[in-house]
Structure 1
């Protein structure tokens, strides 16, 4: 079954590598890929308010069941990648990380492997309520772009039970290497696995 998948990535740094991933999905016809916004659309939206950009990204996630984070060297620290991850959790999407540093860019240069973006966003329990956390300057802090509590019933993974202990999203999600693990042939299966883990 074709999965409608949202792809989260750092546009300026990795767009060439991302389009290589997209092209293999289009050719395979195994997936219906969403989230590949034209750069001019995304850049124009960034000139609007934060609320307008958040709305733009939420709209992009509509009707998707999996969010695939295409990770390069600096993806983990990107504010809007983190927002897409958080909104994906709230939506119940399956999540996975695919490292793309092993794909050459338009100058035929390989990238540098970065941190797993799903390891820098987590969930924690405080006074009986669940909240999102993010890693900033080496410390876990409350996630600032979504400060409401999260109903445990909306999580597809087990909610943390110890107060003020952050559970990283990466503990519940798979991470793959596109170049080293033959992503051209296998990414559709990785996406399907993520969907299954989330019960989608």
Structure 2
């Protein structure tokens, strides 16, 4: 069964690396990728915090798993923290993927960032743990560990 998965990440710094992960998710039959479109994000930022919260709440609706894409500054992002807290409230399966080893459009990797997730959440490295081939099993494992039916 496909798991509807929300992808949380620091947009400004990690959009390139995140797109690699999100686009690979679209190719996996076990994952229905859910993320906030950049144009919606920009529009909501103009309206204010309440609009951003609604946008994120709507994005998380009907999801059963949240994947936090961990880059150099992800842990310091207030809206990533909000998405993690809401995912925990919802009972979503939750896991992290370190994305700093994914090359950007210029061929550069980044510095590893701090893990913003609770200690009980599993984390993986996209490059070293072969995320392209293992993302589906990571999503399923997080779902199973959440205890959701």
TM-score range, shorter chain: over 0.9
User: How far off its partner does 1:29 sit?
Assistant: 2.6
The aligned counterpart of 1:174 is: 122
Aligned to 1:185: 133
Could you tell me which residue of structure 1 aligns to residue 3 of structure 2? 3
Shift of 1:108: 1.4
Aligned ranges 1:83-122 → 2 under 5 Å: 83-118=82-117
Please list every run of 5 or more consecutive structure 1 residues that lacks an aligned counterpart in the other structure: 119-168
Over the residues paired in the alignment, what is the CA RMSD in angstroms?
A: 1.0
Report which stretch shifted further, 22-31 or 58-67: 22-31
Contact 2:100 / 2:109 at 8 angstroms: preserved in 1?
yes
Give distance in 2, aligned partners of 1:15 and 1:189: 23
Structure 2 residue 123 is the aligned partner of structure 1 residue 194: no
Q: Which runs of 5+ in 2 are unaligned?
A: none
Bigger proportion of residues as helix: 2
Larger Rg over CA atoms? 1
Q: Is the 8 A contact 2:92 2:146 kept in 1?
A: yes
Q: TM-score, normalised by structure 2?
A: 0.95
Post-superposition Cα deviations, 1:83-133, rounded to whole Å, max 9, x if no partner, equal 000011111101101000111111111111100011xxxxxxxxxxxxxxx
The offset of 1:47, in angstroms, is 1.4
Query: Is the Cα contact below 8 Å between 2:65 and 2:142 reproduced in 1?
Result: yes
Q: Which has the higher strand share?
A: 1
Aligned pairs, number: 148
